[in-house]
Amino acid sequence: MAISTHSTKPIANGLHKYK
């Protein structure tokens, strides 16, 4: 999923909060 963050900006924002 970490790589997904680089591909998807919206997901990156969500994962950023999770991290």
CA angle 11, 14, 15 (to 5 degrees): 85
SS3 category, 17: helix
- Amino acid, res. 15: L
What are the tens digits of pLDDT across the range 1-19?
555 555 566 666 666 665 5
CA atoms lying within 13 Å on the CB side of residue 3: 0
Quick one: pLDDT at residue 8? 61
Quick one: pLDDT at residue 18? 55
Q: Cα torsion for 11, 3, 19, 8, to the nearest 10°?
A: -20
